[in-house]
Structure 1
């Protein structure tokens, strides 16, 4: 009597749980949290509600700009501190709420607004501020484009990119001590090289892996399969003629 070995069925992942996991991972990637937020994520409990806190940060930074209280000096560090205090505690949330998709654009918009307010007040050249915003915007676009194709950027990129929180703190501290232009210039150069080199090398490596996989598929075909495929193509051409 021949018996077949019994195989233990592998449980399939729950589709809803997988969807929630991917949504959380994607929104966390879009946030672009750096080392500080990542380190505090596991140490701050449930954290603040993401959307209200991010919206409050945007309104608070905008109010600082409209009120005219920003002047050259230590007060230029305040917008960065306000955003860090309100938004960093939201990084521990699961981002599964109905409106949590608003959190990444709120964070990016507040970051850009704070950079402009601090930079303009500290007399940083406007073209330099534009280049910095372009570099960060390119990094955001690259992250969104990759994740939508289920190609996740490595974690070290977000840590090496300092995240929105450390970028703002560096710019605010530099402007507060009168080194705003130098700090923005150094940060722009560093981030530009980092994001450009990592993005290009990642896409080139991906193209090479795809090409190797395609060639491997062709090499695995037997001579009979190749001959059969060629015969089928010839017959197809004859029928079309």
Structure 2
């Protein structure tokens, strides 16, 4: 489990403003939930596209597909269009530092584009709505867990974002499943996989953190003077009785 964004060790004291910006960038990038494809292309896309505007365009484009019922066919290569639009527009924003005035909007816009694309593809193929809801819930839980952890200064391991496929690979998998007419099976397998992955990693990490905190507290108790330990024990006992 990572407790801080990974950086190269330095011998000098970091500038407070630079450290704040570094942590801000690390948080926004983790909230995006980029996967292996984005990581592979990050250093090959140059400076990248403006993240807020480009992601908003992707969201509007997918919404237009939904409202115009473009995916009425329910199968075939056209079912890949929503996923490819989001991937083609949003992946090129990965290299940006996300320090712009409105760049905090990028993670919710990415999540909205992902969810809308999933719903647009799923509803066009008559995939059970409850199954789509469960998939969105699992992804939403992962997002919430990431946000909550980073706000506590606890950073999820880098591998969980790759193992979770990231928003871009999840969309490609869903689009491909719809294109071959097997989206219900694909969504069911993907949902089960992500649920086990995210739940197991989250529970394991929090248990380890709680265990580490307990051991640290026990160490502090051993190092304390006998009189202080006795006073603390009496105070805890009185509090329990009250």
Normalised TM-score (structure 1): 0.89
Q: Aligned pair count?
A: 223
Following TM superposition, by how much is the alpha carbon of 1:11 offset from its aligned partner in structure 2, in angstroms? 3.1
For residue 30 of structure 1, give the secondary structure of its aligned residue in structure 2: helix
Partner of 1:220: 223
Separation (CA, whole Å) in 1 of partners of 2:204 and 2:226: 34
Which stretches in structure 2 are left out of the alignment for 5+ residues? 1-10
* Structure with bigger RCO (C-alpha 8 Å, 6+ apart): 2
Separation (CA, whole Å) in 1 of partners of 2:211 and 2:139: 27
Paired residue for 1:153, among 129, 153, 156?
Answer: 156
Confirm whether residue 20 of structure 1 aligns to residue 21 of structure 2: yes
- 4+ runs of 1 displaced by more than 3 Å? 228-234
On the 8 A contact 2:174/2:186 being kept in 1, the answer is: yes
For residue 124 of structure 1, give the secondary structure of its aligned residue in structure 2: coil
- Classify 1:209/1:229 alpha carbon distance in 2 versus 1 (closer, same or farther; 3 Å): closer
Structure index of larger Rg? 1
Partner of 1:185: 188
Following TM superposition, by how much is the alpha carbon of 1:227 offset from its aligned partner in structure 2, in angstroms? 2.6
Cα deviations by residue, 1:194-232 (Å, 9 ceiling, x for unpaired): 0000000100010000000000111123xxx22366479
Which stretches in structure 1 are left out of the alignment for 5+ residues? 1-9
On the 8 A contact 2:221/2:229 being kept in 1, the answer is: no
* RMSD, matched Cα: 1.7
Partner of 1:65: 66
Separation (CA, whole Å) in 2 of partners of 1:129 and 1:194: 18
Confirm whether residue 115 of structure 1 aligns to residue 118 of structure 2: yes
For residue 12 of structure 1, give the secondary structure of its aligned residue in structure 2: coil
Partner of 2:208: 205
